[in-house]
Chain A
Amino acid sequence: MPFFEFIKQNWSEILALTREHIFLVFISTAFAVLIGVPLGVLLTRKKSLQTPILGFANIMQTIPSLALFGLLVPISFIGIGAKAAIIALSLYALLPIIRNTVTGILSVDKKIKEAATAMGMTDWQILKMVELPLAAPVILTGIRVAVVISVGVATIAAAVGAGGLGTYIFRGLRQNDNNLLLAGAIFSAVLALLADFALGQIAKLYEPQRAEDKSLHKRRKFIAIGATALIAVIVGYSFISSFQNPFANQTNAQNKIRVSSKDFTESVILAEILAQMLEKKGIMVERKLELGGNLAHEALLSNQADVYPEYTGTAYTAILKKTPITDTQQVYDETKKEYAEKFDLTISEPLGFSNDFAILIRNDEAKKNNLKTISDFVPLAKNKQAGFGQDFMSRADGYEGFKNAYGFDFAKQPREMDLALTYRALKSGELDIIAGNSTDGLIDALDLFQLKDDKKYFPPYQAVFIARNDKSKILQEIFQTLNNSISTEEMRKMNYEVDGKNRQPKDVASDWLVRKGF
């Protein structure tokens, strides 16, 4: 689909995401200003505090954004969603605002401060009438930097379910869809430029002006007021719409099921299947989809969500931290038992398919060299470039064990990169071997070939739902229905509908439900 056609078709969603983005950036910048400016003023009065406070703000900014989001989510009163994003964004915005407030005030001409004191101004009057107005252009520059950083970092907020334009970027990466990627990137870039321009105009208002500039001054004032009004309307609207829903839902919140998912297509489709089945039974559903890393698990533990799709192998190795084993039934049984004891969580019956690690190469290369199993590939490895997702590189059943089990000897260190990008890089020939997921729709879409795990290295990854015990009663019936109902073939097809044909997960899920007659 051409880009402009895509924009036209998805215009209302793009607007909604842009609005969410502005909301996140505005609220967090407002917090950062309310905290940062007074703190900066304090630092100019008590210089001994400068090192610890600026040090703290500095450290905040060096924490990678996804890590900071991840750290905030398990805190129960924060959880997933806009709250975590706003707190993280505010922390990021603090440094430039505090630092520029300090610099701005300290760089006010000493003669002018002396004059102010000598005129008999009180400390408060000096601050209000002399220091802050004269430091305003520098402080506003700090706010400008903070806003531009926030617009960028806010794209990561999609990983904790806070929405915004990052939703398109993550989805685009996952589904290998350039339109989504471009739309997310372009709109956030435009947002950053517009904010930068408007704040620049406001900053200029504070520069001492000459008489002949007065018409320009008026125009700036107009732009500044216009931009502020526009943002106020957008933020106000977001506020109202974010408050309306909880009120409407309050009466049956008790029976409401909060369905969550991880941030990849398959997880979203499974969550949609469950959500739609619940809705057909007349149960209220709240979707908290596309959470990054292990955030969905954290969301269950902190009572932010009730249920999400998971894989037994992941639960066993990544969450329970057990050494990988290959017996499917043993993994399922032990995981179920330990989840009940450790986390008070229920594990559903297996959904039928497994999403194991799939070692993938290009189909034409498999044919040319008659490659069938991973062992077949080992002798060729010397002049091949491997690339794996971060997950595969770090997990217990990942790269290290895999290399040793098969005796791989790659000439070059494998590239560690985003999983979705390894598919693209394999297709384009920059990588020769990757570790994908066996149900991934892209395997067919990109004409890739899965090498057989002939040494049975990879543990089983049966798909299941994990639910909070207090909601398992409502869910039990559906879990029974879904028991062993989705084959690997079906799952791969559904994934391809989304990743290869750019259909919506919710439509694909409902098609499947209709086909199955559920």
Chain B
Amino acid sequence: MKEMPKKIVEFRNVNFSVGNTKILEDINLQIFSGEILVLLGESGCGKTTTLKLINRLIEPTSGEVLVEEKSTMDWDPIKLRRKIGYVLQEGGLFPHFTVEKNVALVPDLENWEKEKTREKVAELLDLVGLNHQKFSDRFPNELSGGQRQRVGVARALAANPDLLLLDEPFGALDAITRTNLQKEFARLVKDLGKTAVFVTHDLHEAFILATRICLMDKGKIALVETPENFRKSDLPLVREYLETISVNKVES
């Protein structure tokens, strides 16, 4: 019998509402070490909220979210966030920091030795496909969208987190850059042995990246399945999604 992979994140009966509006309802979900879990859904379905519950950017109204078996409410939020990598659309880079300073952010907050930080930054920039000698001293507004996104990924990896959270990171990129980055990212996560939770509304992207897809609809989980089983599902919502893909294919 295969060994059970380690549980990294677990949602237990999580609800989240703002005032009387329910954003998330009864979320139960387990995320295991080494997988890329894609949170898929239309905008407003609660997928980004689900993601932000993991590093306590948002706190649950009821129920609990466990990271490494400990409720996020019992974690020191600063410590929790520094051990989880976070990437958001357009990278969310600080425009007044150079590329090097952006990537070195968490190591600097954690007071790493200067030399160690510098080595790590150089290594990471090369890893995400940016020549560190060429890019270290540039400012974000001197980079293309794709390059910014690569820096964003490098920054998330800087403090060696086991878990990465990504909020539609490739959404604003053109199709070719996006496809390249998706493939590179999937390989990178596998090679480094990281766990990733990835938010997207793009089914195509989900199929490229996911080890499992979690489909969300109106604040609830509709389905959690591997891409293979996802295709076979006869849920009406899934069929709808699959149709959009085939339509796209016909068009192109």
Contact = CB atoms under 8 A, between A and B. Distances in A.
B78 interface: yes
A367 interface: no
B88 A120 contact: no
A114 B89 CA distance: 11
A515 interface: no
A120 B79 contact: yes
Nearest to A130: B94
Interface of A: 111-112, 114-122, 125, 129-130, 133-134, 206, 208-211
Interface of B: 55, 57, 77-82, 86, 88-90, 92-96, 105-106, 109, 137-142, 155, 165
Most buried by B among A119, A134, A211: A119
25 contacts: A111-B90, A112-B93, A114-B57, A114-B88, A114-B92, A115-B92, A115-B94, A116-B94, A117-B57, A118-B55, A118-B81, A118-B86, A118-B88, A119-B82, A119-B86, A119-B155, A120-B79, A120-B106, A120-B109, A125-B109, A129-B94, A209-B139, A210-B141, A211-B138, A211-B142
Given A120-B79, A211-B138, A115 B86 contact: yes
B81 A120 contact: yes
Interface of B is mostly: helix
Contacts of A120: 77-82, 106, 109
Contacts of B105: 119
A121 B159 CA distance: 14
B100 to A, nearest CB: 13
A135 B93 CA distance: 16
Q: Which 3 pairs between the two chains have the least Cβ-Cβ distance?
A: A115-B92, A120-B82, A120-B81
Contacts of B77: 120
B79 A134 contact: no
Contacts of B138: 211
A134 B95 contact: yes
Nearest to A110: B92
Contacts of B96: 133-134, 206, 208
A308 B106 CA distance: 68
B139 A208 contact: yes
A147 B213 CA distance: 59
Contacts of A112: 92-95
A206 B95 CA distance: 11
A121 B55 CA distance: 13
Contacts of B165: 118
B92 A210 contact: no
Given A211-B137, A211-B138, A211-B142, A118 B57 contact: yes
Given A114-B88, A114-B92, A208-B95, A119 B109 contact: yes
